[in-house]
Chains A and B, each alone.
Chain A
Amino acid sequence: MLAYILRRIGMAALVMFVALSVNFSIPRLMPGDPVEQVLAAASAAGGQSGNMADTARVMRARLGLDQPMWRQYLSYLGNSARLDLGVSVASYPQPVSEIVLAGLPWTVGLLGTATLISFVLGTVLGALMAWPKAPRVLKVLAVPVVVLSAIPYFILGLVLMALLGIAWPVLPVAGGYPFGVVLNPDIASALAIARHAVLPGLSIVLASLGTWAVAMRGMVVGVLGEDYIMLAEAKGLSERRIFLAYGLRNALLPQFTALALRLGLLVSGAILVEVIFAYPGIGYRLYVAIGQKDVFVVQGIVLLLSAAIAGAMLVLDLLYPLIDPRVAAGHA
């Protein structure tokens, strides 16, 4: 058990190390540096003053870009560990960590809720699709669900926005709460937030439902061929009990592994949904920062995404032995 926990923690640490290194090296491998980009943007906006070369030298010194590479790398690792991600260039001198953390609750709330709903619904639907005695309605319902799973979340979001936001305007199409409203911890605010989350959430749920259903169906089909199912039938157990306790229970295990593996894809998809609906989470902030060429905010958000996924995966991994004790014992 201890070996398992240590291995999972080691894996998460490795992921973070690689993410940090990638984050450090990619911008530095490319021609040009952030100072050049910022100054170019400033001069394009008419903000040039004095000698550009001097300005660039001073800025590089302040950002530590004139230090040797290994030194920059070490101080980058140290700063990241202290959550010091630099300051925003576009809304100077707001720290990057402040911008990033302000978006976090929105993304976690939207993505967490949507993923939970689609995972549960999709898993049940998939299991029923494989169950010979399931109602025929489900088999018909499964086709559109599987077809929708082919479509990227945000493209489905565009269509939903046009249908339910513009053509038949029942739901708000942009933002996380009504424009110009001060949020209070009361029911009215909570309802307003929930209303704004419906369209982006629905896009994620509808587009990811089919993925879980297809995977679960495959698993249940496999499990239903096992000998212990035949034994359960021979014992005369009820259909419902065989399905729930023997079929569903055993097919569920790989589904949790799939959830852990798909977290990255889920987050990537959800980011784009936020962009489409101008939802004030991490993804929309990333989009804005890219538009403003706010390099440090972009790097900060990118790092946070990797950290969040590594963290979520670690939690899933550590919970996994509770559902499948064989894992901790090293048998699976």
Chain B
Amino acid sequence: MKALWQFSRREPLVPLGLLLLLVLATLSLAAPLIVDPALAGIGATAARRPPSAAHWLGSDTQGRDVLASLLAATPQTLEIGLLAGLIGLAAGGVLGLLAGWFRGVVDAIIRTACDVFMTIPAIAVLVLVGTSVRSMTVGLMAIVVAGLSWMVPARSIRAQVLSLRERPWIDVARLNGQSSLAIIFADLLPNLAPFLAASFVISVSTAMLATVGLEALGLGPQNELTLGMMIYWAQYSGAILRGMWWWWVPPVVALALIFMALLAISLGLDRIVNARLRSDL
């Protein structure tokens, strides 16, 4: 406990970001205690009302309570990000390990694939999928987005494996006659942990960025509430031009907080991984 506190004093960015995400997640889980979730339905209350004692954040043009919608949308958005980030990390991690461990042809193929898919703009592929499917759901969205967030983890894990595999203790393990698989799991993975964590945060945030972009183009899940869809509907109905700030500001603030939390965690992890950066900022 004391060690944890001291770590937080030295590297405040990671705990800060985690805390922020935790607060947002808890708030949306505790939503039923704050506001009736049914108020997030269409026509649940009077439309276009500014904030009042009964509806703290007012209502939108379809008669949805904004606070209830916000609390229902936040976990959905987080879910897409985490799910897509996990899939992206798993796929990218495996590819990075393979490329770094086997080198040669395997490495050349994986590295080229990474470069090619990093060049093709994610939004282009997402738009193609989005316009081709009949209806978008939160789960499908996560899978589609994950398909485009494996490159960064793959590249960074590959670079680490390439450097780790030359270390003496790996040689010892190899001379002891351990199999490649055993070395990868017992000797490589534990040393990769901080890089895996950093890659995970990056792939969560690329995934969420892609999700929000897709939603802003009107290709998000039309029948479900996410923060990006809230912004899309607000923008679609001209909430800004009509001065309905209570409709578009809350999801914008929530999304901004999520992205800031992810950035804080990623910068913090970067400083832990990369000791040289640990001068003052």
Chain A residues proximal to chain B, CB less than 8 Å:
11, 14-15, 18-19, 22-23, 26-27, 29-32, 129-130, 139, 142, 146-147, 149-152, 154-155, 158-159, 161-162, 166, 173, 214, 217-218, 221-222, 225, 261, 263-265, 267-269, 271-272, 275-276, 286-287, 290-291, 293, 295, 298-299, 302-303, 305-306, 309-310, 313
On whether the beta carbons of A302 and B267 are closer than 8 Å, the reply is no
Q: Which of B70-78, B128-136, B159-167, B169-177 contacts A (4 or more CB under 8 A)?
A: B128-136
On whether the beta carbons of A15 and B256 are closer than 8 Å, the reply is no
Instruction: Show 17 residue pairs from A and B whose CB-CB distance is below 8 angstroms, ordered by the A residue.
Output: A27-B128, A27-B131, A147-B260, A151-B255, A152-B209, A158-B235, A217-B277, A264-B118, A264-B122, A265-B121, A267-B121, A268-B210, A268-B213, A272-B216, A302-B127, A305-B124, A306-B124
Please tell me which one of the listed residues A155, A217, A268, A309 contacts residue B119 in the complex, with CB atoms under 8 A apart.
Answer: A309
Given the known A-B contacts A27-B128, A305-B124, are A15 and B209 also in contact in the complex, defined by CB atoms under 8 Å?
no
Q: Report A286 CB to chain B, min CB distance, Å.
A: 7
Q: From B117, which residue of chain A is reached at the shortest CB distance?
A: A18
On whether the beta carbons of A32 and B121 are closer than 8 Å, the reply is no
Interface centre among B122, B131, B252 (most CB of A within 10 A): B131
Given the known A-B contacts A15-B119, A23-B128, are A290 and B235 also in contact in the complex, defined by CB atoms under 8 Å?
no
On whether the beta carbons of A166 and B240 are closer than 8 Å, the reply is yes
Per the bound structure, the CA–CA distance linking A50 and B247 in Å amounts to 46
Q: Report B265 CB to chain A, min CB distance, Å.
A: 11
Per the bound structure, the CA–CA distance linking A298 and B131 in Å amounts to 8
CB-CB under 8 A from B216, the residues of chain A are 154, 272, 275-276
Task: Sort A-B residue pairs by CB-CB distance and give the 5 closest, nearest first.
Answer: A150-B263, A30-B132, A268-B123, A264-B121, A302-B124
Q: Report A243 CB to chain B, min CB distance, Å.
A: 16
Per the bound structure, the CA–CA distance linking A82 and B45 in Å amounts to 55
Q: From A26, which residue of chain B is reached at the shortest CB distance?
A: B128
Across chains A and B, the number of contacting residue pairs, with CB separation under 8 Å, is 147
Any chain A CB within 8 A of the CB of B57?
Answer: no
CB-CB under 8 A from B116, the residues of chain A are 11, 14-15, 18
CB-CB under 8 A from B124, the residues of chain A are 19, 302-303, 305-306
Per the bound structure, the CA–CA distance linking A32 and B209 in Å amounts to 29
CB-CB under 8 A from A22, the residues of chain B are 120, 125, 128
On whether the beta carbons of A26 and B276 are closer than 8 Å, the reply is no
CB-CB under 8 A from A286, the residues of chain B are 127, 217
On whether the beta carbons of A298 and B127 are closer than 8 Å, the reply is yes
CB-CB under 8 A from B262, the residues of chain A are 150
CB-CB under 8 A from A291, the residues of chain B are 218
Could you tell me which residues of chain B, from 210 to 264, have a CB within 8 Å of some CB in chain A?
A: 210, 212-213, 216-219, 231, 235, 240-241, 243, 245, 248, 252, 255-256, 259-260, 262-263
On whether the beta carbons of B131 and A150 are closer than 8 Å, the reply is no
Q: Report A224 CB to chain B, min CB distance, Å.
A: 9
Given the known A-B contacts A22-B128, A268-B123, A306-B120, are A290 and B277 also in contact in the complex, defined by CB atoms under 8 Å?
no
CB-CB under 8 A from A214, the residues of chain B are 267
Any chain A CB within 8 A of the CB of B1?
Answer: no
CB-CB under 8 A from B6, the residues of chain A are none
Please tell me which one of the listed residues B125, B217, B243 contacts residue A166 in the complex, with CB atoms under 8 A apart.
Answer: B243
Per the bound structure, the CA–CA distance linking A264 and B209 in Å amounts to 13
Could you tell me which residues of chain B, from 263 to 281, have a CB within 8 Å of some CB in chain A?
A: 263, 267, 270, 274, 276-277, 279-281
Q: Report B126 CB to chain A, min CB distance, Å.
A: 9
Any chain A CB within 8 A of the CB of B36?
Answer: no
On whether the beta carbons of A295 and B131 are closer than 8 Å, the reply is yes
On whether the beta carbons of B123 and A155 are closer than 8 Å, the reply is no
On whether the beta carbons of B259 and A151 are closer than 8 Å, the reply is yes
Chain B residues proximal to chain A, CB less than 8 Å:
112, 115-125, 127-134, 209-210, 212-213, 216-219, 231, 235, 240-241, 243, 245, 248, 252, 255-256, 259-260, 262-263, 267, 270, 274, 276-277, 279-281
Per the bound structure, the CA–CA distance linking A238 and B139 in Å amounts to 59
Per the bound structure, the CA–CA distance linking A31 and B133 in Å amounts to 7
Per the bound structure, the CA–CA distance linking A15 and B218 in Å amounts to 27
Per the bound structure, the CA–CA distance linking A31 and B216 in Å amounts to 24
CB-CB under 8 A from A23, the residues of chain B are 128
CB-CB under 8 A from B130, the residues of chain A are 290
CB-CB under 8 A from B212, the residues of chain A are 152, 155
Per the bound structure, the CA–CA distance linking A155 and B209 in Å amounts to 11
CB-CB under 8 A from B270, the residues of chain A are 218
CB-CB under 8 A from A268, the residues of chain B are 121-123, 210, 213
Please tell me which one of the listed residues B127, B128, B235, B274 contacts residue A276 in the complex, with CB atoms under 8 A apart.
Answer: B235
Per the bound structure, the CA–CA distance linking A22 and B128 in Å amounts to 9
Per the bound structure, the CA–CA distance linking A293 and B70 in Å amounts to 29
On whether the beta carbons of B252 and A155 are closer than 8 Å, the reply is yes
CB-CB under 8 A from B122, the residues of chain A are 264-265, 268
Per the bound structure, the CA–CA distance linking A222 and B276 in Å amounts to 7
On whether the beta carbons of B213 and A272 are closer than 8 Å, the reply is yes
Please tell me which one of the listed residues B121, B127, B209 contacts residue A309 in the complex, with CB atoms under 8 A apart.
Answer: B121
Q: From A287, which residue of chain B is reached at the shortest CB distance?
A: B217
CB-CB under 8 A from B119, the residues of chain A are 15, 263-264, 306, 309-310, 313
Given the known A-B contacts A30-B132, A268-B213, are A15 and B120 also in contact in the complex, defined by CB atoms under 8 Å?
yes
On whether the beta carbons of B240 and A309 are closer than 8 Å, the reply is no
Given the known A-B contacts A271-B123, A309-B121, are A152 and B259 also in contact in the complex, defined by CB atoms under 8 Å?
yes
Give 14 A-B pairs besides A15-B120, A298-B131 with Cβ atoms closer than 8 angstroms: A11-B115, A15-B119, A22-B120, A27-B132, A30-B129, A30-B132, A130-B279, A149-B263, A151-B255, A152-B255, A159-B252, A268-B210, A276-B216, A276-B235
